[in-house]
Amino acid sequence: MSGDCWVAVVGTGPAGPEWLTPETADILERATDLVGYGPYLDRVAAGHQRRHASDNRQELDRAGHALDLAAEGSRVAVVSGGDPGVFAMGAAVLEALDRDTEGRWRNVAVTVHPGVSAMQAAAARLGAPLGADFCALSLSDNLKPWAVVERRVRLAAEADLVMALYNPASRARPWQLGRVLAVIAEVHPPETPVIFATAAGREQEHLTVTTLGEADPARADMRTLVIVGMPGTRVLEREQGTLVYTPRYYEGA
Ligand SMILES: C[S@@+](CC[C@H](N)C(=O)[O-])C[C@H]1O[C@@H](n2cnc3c(N)ncnc32)[C@H](O)[C@@H]1O
């Protein structure tokens, strides 16, 4: 990344500074302005940069604000949690650019930089449940119809994909995870492993390994990533703790 006016879209990782990549730390250091949801900005050390905190909903407005700042000569880091390309600001910044028919931001260099996503942190805490083919789905129906969520979940189960489920529940969306688990249970046997990883990597981290038949959707909140295995996903009970993995070979290979 070079030049004097840029927007770099970065991610903090799922928790504290130990999850920040050195590349992202360097970009934050060189930025003059930080744009993002307040709690994500709080995760990166308060330094010399101007902070532009906003709420978590107006993604396109926030992206436009970041691009405006850069067009005026600033070096702007747009800060997401986790990886900025996974259900986060990466797509919003590119969508804002895509809509810029007047070329207001044509001189602004825009780059996206990887971060550690919640599914990677949650999976690694318990072994390698995403060891074979998997997909990541957001259960939020704020930006897509619920029928689409259900259809994708059903097809993913039928395709034997392990699923990393983001945004499984919130106060405004209390029933969706229960419905999703019921859809998967129509396809997979009740002993299929399910993981609830809440606040992975943080002080309040809580990990539960259960089964599709026993999974209690009430365990999930906004800080939870749910991983639903496929029938080949294995659980190893060891003296040192539980490990979960999905073998890379598929029956019949
Ligand atoms: C809007 S999405 C952002 C995802 C983020 N860009 C990423 O790559 O992890 C927010 C959702 O990510 C998941 N999440 C974020 N941090 C987490 C953590 N530390 N532990 C478990 N899940 C987390 C939760 O499902 C949460 O509802």
The number of residues making up the chain comes to 253
Q: In the predicted model, what is the mean pLDDT of residues 31-38?
A: 94
Q: In the predicted model, what is the mean pLDDT of residues 191-199?
A: 98
Question: What is 227-251 written as a DSSP string?
Answer: EE--TT-EEEEETTEEEEE--SS-T
Distance in angstroms (rounded) separating the CA atoms of residues 16 and 3? 29
In this predicted structure, the answer to whether residue 74 has a pLDDT above a threshold of 80 is: yes
Whether the CB of 87 sits within 6 Å of ligand 1: yes
What percent of the chain stands above pLDDT 90? 89
Best residue among 18, 79, 87 to mutate for probing ligand 1, ranked by most atoms within 8 Å of CB: 87
DSSP state of 150: H
pTM of this structure: 0.96
Distance in angstroms (rounded) separating the CA atoms of residues 3 and 156? 43
Whether the CB of 27 sits within 6 Å of ligand 1: no
Buried-exposed string 199-216: b where 16+ CB fall within 10 A, e elsewhere: bbbeeebebbbeebeebe
- The reported pLDDT for the residue numbered 3 is 61
Report the nearest atom of ligand 1 relative to the CA of 168. 25
Contact 61, 34 (CB under 8 A): no
Contact 248, 209 (CB under 8 A): no
Q: 2: pLDDT confidence band, cut at 50, 70 and 90?
A: low
Please give the radius of gyration of the chain, using alpha carbons only, rounded to the nearest integer.
20
- The reported pLDDT for the residue numbered 218 is 97
Location of structure tokens 């449940």:
129
Whether the CB of 15 sits within 6 Å of ligand 1: yes
Location of structure tokens 């990166």:
44
